[in-house]
A and B are shown apart, each in its own frame.
Chain A
Amino acid sequence: MSDETEDTIAEIETLPLDAWHRRKGARMVPFAGYDMPIQYEGIVVEHNWTRQQAGLFDVSHMGQLMVTGDKAAEELEKLLPGAIASLKPGKVRYSLLVNEDGGILDDLMVTNATPWIEGDEEAGTEGHWGDPAYYLVVNGAMKWDDIAHLREHLDDDVTLTHMDEHALIALQGPNAATALNRVMRNVIDDMVFMESVCHDFGEWPLRITRAGYTGEDGFEISVPAEFAESLADRLCAEIEVRPIGLGARDSLRLEAGLPLYGHDITTETDPVSADLGFALSKKRREQGGWMGHDKVMQVLESGPLQKRVGLAIEGRMPAREGAPIFSGDTQVGRITSGGFSPTLERPIAMGYVDTALAQEGTELEVEVRNKRLPAKVAPLPFVPHRYHRGK
């Protein structure tokens, strides 16, 4: 995470929970233009707590956008390779913004946030779906570029709202549901992974999405900034919940094999090489009509030159972003994220290697400070996902 600080713009802003983090003893660092908590007690303790209990993460730096209008789905499908029009209200999909060259501009979550309007017997109206609305969560460091890209390419009939007065709090871990259920009953009972609901918790209008970036079951809760501290306090009052910093967020997502934008995926990588083919829905591959379709299809047909893989590194010395990967004397790739896995207690990494060498079990070497470390292509995730997919 160390190099993110170099990317920061001169003006560092504060997020709604800034004072709350400081009171909790966080060490704050500049990240994506904001002062963010890198850790509280320590990365390893926080990491393990999240894997065993539940961690609260402030991810308010991320961009929360609402795209509304009759043509919202149709318009979004021009920029996203996923099936948005067939996404049912309350469902969530992982997607990508792809540029003309097939490069990845950002990765994001799209929720069909179309509201259900209750019927009114007196007025003689029946319950019905309201105006189509799509809730997007994009990367903090990319949100301004994303907004500009969306504004440029979405039709004028569609409205894009930056929900910059909302905080976003993630609650992640095997006990996240237990804790959240105690705070607000009967809200998440029927929810499974990649579903989203709106819930008025007293006067707080929340959007609760069962998803996250740790590989664990968990939720992301969008809350008006003015109520963010109270919500964080309510959640942290539960015995299972502790605040967790960005340091552990990074090691958790690496174990879960989830790519980090700007590192594992960039405009230099395409969805196929990045092994994110699942974000290209079958129908939309065939039909096209989305930016970058031609280029991405070319890669799909000819096969990518390189592929994103997991690497298990022998020994204890971590190999980090930028480390070259070798097969014999030939450089065959580069590490894009790497570190020490607290769960597995050994170094793990992700990187790109020549496609011929991307099969599981391929023996390679990684160079760190002029030393060659044996490494093996390993399946992702390194630590199994434990999403709540229901029965």
Chain B
Amino acid sequence: MARYFTDEHEWIDVEGDTATVGITDYAQGQLGDIVFVELPDVGSVIDKGKDAAVVESVKAASDVYAPISGEIMETNDALEDDPALVNTSPEENGWFFKMTIGDKSQFDGLMDEAAYKTFCDGL
């Protein structure tokens, strides 16, 4: 299983034809206490770079963009009852949605863990 990172602080786990998407620990730290996550509808098709989810912290709402194009297969129901999972377990239990991978070339140019760490260190 490969994990990619975007410069918008999302992580993408690729397993076969499915990508699981969430936001990184760095992102949750920047957002602060998350009180609500608005997830996309299952079955909706979202283009890379378009709004896919909204994360509401106490102070503001932030958009989460689709890191690749594809169809939403499943969303994380656990976030409905416990949005703070994004704070406590951003890169595991606090995942946002699973989507199909239209075209694998979409991963070109995304970062691996080491590159993402270097990217964050430079911020």
Contact = CB atoms under 8 A, between A and B. Distances in A.
Interface of A: 1-2, 38-39, 42-45, 47, 247, 250-251, 316-318, 320, 339-340, 342, 347, 369
Contact of A2 (B35, B36, B38, B60): B60
B61 interface: yes
Given A339-B59, A347-B36, A369-B54, 5 more contacts: A47-B58, A247-B58, A317-B56, A318-B56, A340-B56
24 contacts: A2-B60, A38-B59, A39-B32, A42-B32, A42-B33, A43-B57, A43-B59, A44-B33, A45-B33, A47-B58, A247-B58, A247-B59, A250-B59, A316-B35, A316-B36, A316-B83, A317-B36, A317-B56, A318-B35, A318-B61, A320-B60, A320-B61, A339-B58, A342-B33
A38 B30 CA distance: 11
A2 B59 contact: yes
Contacts of A318: 35-36, 56, 61
Interface of B: 32-33, 35-36, 38, 54, 56-61, 83
A247 to B, nearest CB: 5
Contacts of A347: 36
Nearest to A346: B35
Please report whether the interface of chain A is mostly helix, strand, loop or mixed according to DSSP: mixed
Contact of B35 (A1, A45, A340, A369): A340
B32 A340 contact: no
A42 B29 CA distance: 9
A209 to B, nearest CB: 27
Between B33, B56, B59, the greatest number of chain A beta carbons within 10 A of the residue's beta carbon is seen for B59
Contacts of B36: 316-318, 340, 347
A347 B36 CA distance: 10
Contacts of A45: 33
Between B38, B57, B58, B83, the greatest number of chain A beta carbons within 10 A of the residue's beta carbon is seen for B58
A1 B32 CA distance: 13
A340 B58 contact: yes
A320 B61 CA distance: 9
A369 B38 contact: yes
Nearest to A318: B56
B49 to A, nearest CB: 18
Between B33, B54, B60, the greatest number of chain A beta carbons within 10 A of the residue's beta carbon is seen for B33
Contacts of B59: 1-2, 38, 43, 247, 250-251, 339
A317 B61 CA distance: 10
B33 A1 contact: no
Between A38, A42, A342, the greatest number of chain B beta carbons within 10 A of the residue's beta carbon is seen for A42
